Amino acid sequence: MSTPGSPPRQTTRHARDLANLPRSAALSHLYRAAEAAAPPNHPPLWMFSPSALWEWVRRYLAYVFRKRHMFPPYTASPQRAMYDLRDERGQEQVLISVAGDWGTGTNEAEAVAKQMKEPKPDFTIHIGDVYYVGDPPEVNENCLGVRDPSNNYDAVTWPVGSLGSFALNGNHEMYANGIGYFELFLPRLGVRNASGVLQGQQTSFFCLQNTHWRIIAIDTGYNSIGVPILSHIPLINSIPGIGGNCKLPDELITWLTEVVKPAEDKRGLILMSHHQPHSGFEGDYTKPAKQLWDAGVQRPVLWFWGHEHRLAGYDLYGQNDLKCFGRCVGHGGMPIKRKDPTHAPTPVFYDNRVAPNGYGVNGHVSLSFAGSKMTAVYMDLNGEKILQEEWAVDGNGAVQLMSKKRLINDPDFHA
């Protein structure tokens, strides 16, 4: 029980604790320090209190002076990062639950996880970002269900499919040099063996494939943050090699060209990444799209991404050669930014509804594969279906949107 005049006790991280979290390693560590410096089961301290600042100095310098985790090549995976997109009977009737920016440890994230598990998916995929900085204690607390004694909040567990689960790398994981992501989270994912034991995900990229489809998941997070401190200084961060540009690592390009070989294949391509190639709300990261084109991804694709904390979808569009139907699903756990688009490309749908917490509405997307057809259903944390899309693949491997059906009448859902 709280004493008179003391901050109210809380058993979980609140959405408001994450509101306005900047895309900055230094400031994300400051948010992390403010929480760590507070007594267990209490809200974060004022960020500029002496205790929080000292904790920030200790944590941020530890990040700055530690090398980022090495980038595992495809040879680290016994399957060469290539997996079957089939159910337990070997059929191509597969269900996948996908969420982005989910790793917050909030009640909203837990509610989304419940909805992801409800239809008993074969696979689940997280497309990146564990908050505040994705260090080992946060991966434990926000993804693996292991309580962090420093705050004593209720821990949340990432939902795993009946056949396996995968996770992509985001910029927040790299704020702690990728240590929590590569060394703690990935070993507890991957595909299940005959005994049902998860075999670990050895690389931060992968391909799920069957006769008609390929899901190619790439790591845009590894090179997203640039040089510590210098990458946040205007003008200096525009110098090549200083600011992060989400460049796909050479090891990933080698995998694409030597193993995946998309130019030699006519299956439909679904891309997944943490960062967006374009947006009608924020900035963009065009480097990966150019690299994908050069690696042989040279036909229309469906591309799911996160990073932006919202649900939005775009018509076929591309700033360079690669054209995609873009779908932003970064509404898994963070406080949702409610705003209208400000520039091209204009989304063909976006969710601007308000939730009881005062932010936007969290949710996920469910992908149901049946031969050459795929159905995408966008669902919120309350289990309400928002939008349904039917996708198909033509004879040249180009992904086509066959139909789109709005499932709610709320005027703040624009479609």
Q: What is the mean pLDDT of residues 210-220?
A: 98
pLDDT band, very low/low/confident/very high, at 62 (cuts 50, 70, 90): confident
| Per-residue pLDDT at 107 | 96
| Per-residue pLDDT at 7 | 59
3-state secondary structure the chain: CCCCCCCCCCCCECHHHHCCCCCCHHHHHHHHHHHHCCCCCCCCCCCCCHHHHHHHHHHHHHHHCCCCCCCCCHHHCCCCCEEECCCCCCCCEEEEEEECCCECCEHHHHHHHHHHHCCCCCEEEECCCECCCCCHHHHHHHHECCCCCCCCCCCCECCCCCCEEEECCCHHHHCCCCHHHHHHHHHHCEEECCCCCECCCCCCCEEEECCCEEEEECCCCCCCCCCCCHHHCCCHHHCCCCCCCCCCCHHHHHHHHHHHCHHHCCCEEEEECCCCCCCCCCCCCCHHHHHHHHCCCCCCEEEEECCCCCEEEEEEECCCCCCEEEEEECCCCCCCCCCCCCCCCCCCEEECCCCCCCCCCCEEEEEEEECCEEEEEEEECCCCEEEEEEEEECCCCCEEEEEEEECCCCCCEEC
| Per-residue pLDDT at 358 | 95
Q: pTM value?
A: 0.95
| Per-residue pLDDT at 233 | 66
pLDDT per residue over 96-122, tens digit each?
A: 999 999 999 999 999 999 999 999 999
pLDDT band, very low/low/confident/very high, at 234 (cuts 50, 70, 90): low
